[in-house]
Structure 1
């Protein structure tokens, strides 16, 4: 299947637009719920959001990756999936029910285990939607896939807001989720009906699905660490703090998560093609890869620290005036996630692009284990201290791993790693800290946060351009040296 450059550009633009619209819809839902419910009820709704998020992440069995890379016709791949479908659904249902009853016996808040029971009937549809989505990506049917995702999300958000507004239902999130899955299944089935028929008619057949089970196992392992990495703090806070505190905590964290879900895919899609082409050990081409590392780190860190600088405005605009007093928590969240992405995002993109997914998984598992240990040990000191020490642990891991990695992979000295990679990062954090301190100590109006954010972004762009110029000089020197040798 061949596509021209203009067609691929159009598909990329459609996907970008769809991601942006879904992010806006999610923020609109968060904004409404944070204004409509009191802190305690918001804690219950946030618990449902947490469970639904973990539920959908867990039900991703790696089908999309398997469908995209598996050779053979569309029908053959659908036969393999259909033969494995009953086992996967049975496995997911058993795990869901066991988790629900375990949470009930442990005395966890009722909203958690009740949500698992309420969403259990839609499990088969969640799994089938994942399969249909994989076939749509395989065929590069991005336009219809994007329309299905946007319209189903719009319906789900509408149901969530409508049931909360008219009925004050604390189960509004669950109802919205069920409607989203139902709508997505209907939309995707409408243009992939033949594929769906093959999957459903082959459930009683026996096909070789070893590769599918391999993908399922590796995907579940990765998803487990993803859940622990992104949701472990919420699980700890939900189990140790009151519903009121958890409602505030989870609502503010959603601002960072939604920003991440929009920014991270963009940065990865721009950097991974370069990483897959050039290796760090390739001499001058390795220098180009180092520059991509610097740019990627700058993009992640700038995004989150800009969010920290404008925490007051963002909190008031999205969550409402009553959350402004908790804007400092958004600053701590943004700083934590900046260190988290500095430690793992660019590094993971490079390792995955160069055929080292298990190294990426091992590094992610180390981060998750350390994060869990630090947060569990410091939650008794309060949320602020927990987030502070989690940031310190991530910063320590990030700087240590960068020093080791670039010495091993690129042959750089400690001084070279510090000068080219770490010193710009230190400057970004120092400048952001100075701007935030100035805004807070002088008690300036929130509008000055825009000025501070503009200064910060401008400084980062200046340093990034300087790195680009230094890379150009390195390439010129390398080319001159090659000409002299000739």
Structure 2
């Protein structure tokens, strides 16, 4: 099968899994927002701030190196696996021992036990991480899709049952542990291949050549995680756990959209870029296609959330979250511009630019930290506005520092990939709001505005972004994929 055919098949299965996960995650947020307190969500946001950083050390950046490497020996893979498992176990122990001090630093001692328990996810993830990476390298996204969807279903169901029975924040902790544990178990059961057989073998020299590049990628991942979590840390420290709960839930809702939709393209884009990494023309085409696709998928979703923020907040989160509606709208704009940076990760990792990835990630993390710290003087909304403005500027500046040197893409060519869906989204949001204007029922407003806006978006895209429309038709089998 050609690269194009393999990519379309991979995207198809990734889309299936993503759609299922989005539905499950949305259901979980809808239900738990009514069963748990804002303080529970604030505590969990603090826990995730720590675990997001520590989790990266369980992999040492080796996953991207494995995908990038054309060949890697069985001995090296075995050594890397046992090394990752050992590190995962050590990290789980460190987090458990340090949880009281970490909770005190975060500003709420009640986060200690949830944090200690969540640390077990590092070990669970390490047990199956390499199996998943090798499956991704083979573009076996059908198996990956089934595994992830089944794990998400078990995790969501358990979280809802526990929250219903009064487990509080521990319902969220259980969801994390079950998701990581089930993923690893199912990867071992269904995603293993004969290209690598695990055995009792460990020789550090076999892994050393891959750890050098891995360290750069680990540094880049740490900086990326800092960029994602720094505003959570600042809001929690300066404004308290309850305000953090009000801030983090709409933020998480918008972040989940991006994290669910972008991998449809970027997870496939990374191994594809690795295959064409020595052909600058093909790198440019794959990257620009990835950017255009992610923009065309994310922008209308975020535009809808921003336009109907009051209705979405009340229906999705419940009456208690009405004070978070404007934050939800601002985070929708934040997510729109932030999503433009995700394809850059595929570009840098797929082409082996680990040093560039580290420099770019550190620059973003430091600048965001300064921005969030200053903006916190104007409260939670100030932080949301500040980081949104940052990412809007960053989306344009990214071209000069990273995109042009690697791909050779021109400024106009680069920006047109996201300006086209932005214009179509603006037209769709305007029409959707106009149609919903005389309607008072929140649910009917969303349905009527969504249908009207969706039709306008598709119609506008046919004239402004036809390549995306044709790609979607190929994805669902209504049109043959282009060569």
TM-score by length of 1: 0.76
Moved more, 448-457 or 128-137: 448-457
Cross-structure match for 2:318: 320
1:30-41 matches, cutoff 5 A: 30-41=29-40
1:411-422 matches, cutoff 5 A: none
5+ residue gaps, structure 2: 468-483
5+ residue gaps, structure 1: 471-486
Deviation at 1:328, TM superposition (A): 1.2
* Aligned: 1:181 with 2:208: no
1:39-50 matches, cutoff 5 A: 39-50=38-49
Deviation at 1:331, TM superposition (A): 0.4
Moved more, 166-175 or 61-70: 61-70
Deviation at 1:377, TM superposition (A): 1.1
Deviation at 1:135, TM superposition (A): 3.5
Q: Does structure 2 conserve the Cα–Cα contact (< 8 Å) formed by 1:48 and 1:174? A: no
Cross-structure match for 2:471: none
Which of the numbers 225, 239, 242 marks the counterpart of 2:240? Answer: 242
Cross-structure match for 2:370: 373
Deviation at 1:323, TM superposition (A): 1.9
* Aligned: 1:386 with 2:360: no
Cross-structure match for 1:256: 254
Q: 1:426, 1:12 → 2: CA distance?
A: 23
Q: 2:415, 2:140 → 1: CA distance?
A: 45
TM-score by length of 2: 0.77
Distance 1:357 1:231, change over 3 A: same
Q: Does structure 1 conserve the Cα–Cα contact (< 8 Å) formed by 2:265 and 2:294? A: yes
SS in 2 for 1:201: coil
Q: Does structure 2 conserve the Cα–Cα contact (< 8 Å) formed by 1:18 and 1:146? A: yes
Deviation at 1:379, TM superposition (A): 0.7
Moved more, 15-24 or 179-188: 179-188
Q: 2:287, 2:124 → 1: CA distance?
A: 42
Distance 1:58 1:458, change over 3 A: farther
Q: 1:277, 1:72 → 2: CA distance?
A: 15
Deviation at 1:129, TM superposition (A): 1.6
SS in 2 for 1:112: helix
Cross-structure match for 2:200: 201
Q: Deviations over 1:269-310 (max 9, x none)?
A: 687769987999969x98998787566545443332222113
Cross-structure match for 1:476: none
Distance 1:457 1:149, change over 3 A: closer
Equivalent pairs counted in the alignment come to 465
Cross-structure match for 1:311: 309
Deviation at 1:236, TM superposition (A): 1.4
Cross-structure match for 2:189: 190
Q: 1:464, 1:357 → 2: CA distance?
A: 35
Q: 1:289, 1:71 → 2: CA distance?
A: 20
Q: Does structure 2 conserve the Cα–Cα contact (< 8 Å) formed by 1:75 and 1:195? A: no
Q: Does structure 1 conserve the Cα–Cα contact (< 8 Å) formed by 2:334 and 2:384? A: yes
Deviation at 1:390, TM superposition (A): 2.1
Q: CA RMSD in A?
A: 4.6
Distance 1:112 1:197, change over 3 A: farther
Moved more, 246-255 or 164-173: 164-173
Q: 2:423, 2:430 → 1: CA distance?
A: 11
Q: Does structure 2 conserve the Cα–Cα contact (< 8 Å) formed by 1:225 and 1:365? A: yes
Cross-structure match for 1:233: 231
Q: 2:374, 2:464 → 1: CA distance?
A: 40
SS in 2 for 1:171: helix
Distance 1:77 1:111, change over 3 A: farther
Cross-structure match for 1:479: none
Q: Deviations over 1:7-38 (max 9, x none)?
A: 87555433322222222222222222110123
Q: Does structure 1 conserve the Cα–Cα contact (< 8 Å) formed by 2:261 and 2:294? A: no
Distance 1:350 1:139, change over 3 A: closer
Q: 2:403, 2:259 → 1: CA distance?
A: 28
